[in-house]
Amino acid sequence: MDLLKELAENLRLGEDEAVRAGTRAALDAGLAPGEILRTGLLAGMAVVGGEFGRREIFLPDVLLAARAMQAGMEVLRPHLARDGAPEAGRVVLGTVQGDLHDIGKNLVGILLRGAGYEVIDLGTDVPAARFLEAAETSGAGVIGLSALLTTTMPRMAEVVSLVRERGLGGRVKVVVGGAPVTQAFADGIGADGWGFDAESAVRRVKALMESV
Amino acid sequence: MRRVLLVDPAAVLPTRQQTLVRAGVPADRTPSGRTLDLLEEAISCFLLEADPIGVLEELSYEEFLAVHHDGMPAGGTSVLDVVAPRASRLALFAATVGEPLCARIRTLFAEGNAPLGLFLDALASEAATALAGQVGKALVEERPDPQLAVLAYSPGYCGWPVTGQRALFARLDPGEIGISLGESALMSPVKSVSGVLVAAPAGAHRFRPAFEFCDACTDRTCLERMATLRSPSGPALVKGSTPWTS
């Protein structure tokens, strides 16, 4: 099996140490970092995404694969930067102010990284202005907001308003999610997208990134 | 009556099936071997790190009415307007699986071990729900009555807004067991539950889910809860309550 096929297969199986070693081996063999990313790591994640979509594997398996993807990216990232090969894009992520729940936000971040995005995770209890600062300084195309309480959902509207006030609406899209958040709520506050769950949030981010 | 209960982690350990479902593996599917290995690792970690504790305080219907009223918006109704008047006994409660377990989950995610973090989070969430059941059991164990079924009702569900926790915390003061409430009505540690335990004949817990607030409800776990009450000679404690947890 060639190096990149083996890399993709080990990623699919969630074998993080094998993926780390395989990525090093591919670099040592002189393969271009962008090629290793596309034909090895992202190809493996695409298979995982397909199996997940067909309900052949489930969230824990996807997280194992995403962890393996991260292991490969840790090796690859410095070479990608040197090579000028772009990652899929940047996303600022966080749980809104007043809320400390982070499992949903973490899962979205992991799946986004697995899909090749650079994620700037601001953590929990994040004020609206910090999301904007991070998006402006990093050049992120999407801000992802999470809330698990009905009391903190209104904070999402503050971020959307700030994006508009600063005239960033054309460049920075806002995706919202969390147990009490609905499509109707997202529409009501003028968000660009709503994720029912982590996987649908990632799909929405991908679609928005392509439109930015 | 006010009681603090220290609970053995093993007593609130969820079943493997419950945990798998909470972690996103459908009940009718066979998980991968690596998934099962992760689950076992998470169970060991849970038994080591969990420190379940709860507090309950019995109160009269009139006292509960005041707490409930303080937590409701003007003119609002909750399912407790129907259920609580039929209760034989009422008690406010709060319980947590403990901050060390919550910290461990955060650390796992921060260190990039999300697969194990996911399972530990699932175990903690299910255990918090089970813990409400343990506290409910304690409410009736001194004066057992096979006719009574105990269910927990929590702010954030069935028309009782999550902000209702402010009045509940003001009355119960669960700081004694290490649970505090933030400005946004978020409990800390995050894997905590609170609410009112209603001990009543099974029929008293039944209602038609046709309230205004039912329109916005996406999980309808009330139906599961009521289904567990079908047998008139069923157990005094009914598991599967819907306390506020994450």
- List the Cα angle A145/A147/A153 in 5-degree steps: 95
Residues 6+ apart with CB under 8 A from B197: B56, B89, B90, B91, B92, B93, B132, B135, B136, B139, B150, B151, B152
Residues on chain B touching A101 (C-beta within 8 angstroms): 186, 190, 246
Give the lowest-confidence range in A77-86, A90-99, B83-92. A77-86
pLDDT band at B78 (very low <50, low <70, confident <90, very high): very high
Which numeric CATH code is attached to A89-211?
Answer: 3.40.50.280
Query: According to the model, what pLDDT value does residue A1 have?
Result: 56
Q: Which of B23, B109, B184 sits opposite A149 (nearest CB)?
A: B184
Q: B210 CA to chain A: closest CA distance, Å? A: 19
ipTM: 0.80
Q: Which of B118, B182, B218 sits opposite A63 (nearest CB)?
A: B118
The topology under which CATH files domain A3-83 is: 1.10.1240
Q: Which of A59, A148, A179 sits opposite B118 (nearest CB)?
A: A59
Q: List the domain range (segments joined by +) for residue B87.
A: 2-227
Q: B234 CA to chain A: closest CA distance, Å? A: 32
Residue B19 lies in a domain: yes
The 10 Å Cβ neighbour count of residue B240 is 16
Residue A99 and residue B188: Cβ atoms within 8 Å?
A: no
pLDDT band at B28 (very low <50, low <70, confident <90, very high): very high
* Chain A contacts to B (CB-CB under 8 A): 14, 55, 57-61, 63-64, 66-67, 70, 98-103, 106-107, 110, 148-152, 179, 182
Chains A, B: CB pairs < 8 Å: 87
Average confidence score pLDDT of chain B: 89
pLDDT at residue B222 is higher than 90:
no
Report residue B76 as tokens: 């609002």
Domain definitions of chain A by residue range = 3-83, 89-211
CATH number at residue B11: 3.40.109.40
Residues 6+ apart with CB under 8 A from B231: B202
Residue B193 lies in a domain: yes
Query: According to the model, what pLDDT value does residue B246 have?
Result: 32
pTM over 0.80: yes
Q: Which of A63, A98, A149 sits opposite B114 (nearest CB)?
A: A63
Residue B236 lies in a domain: no
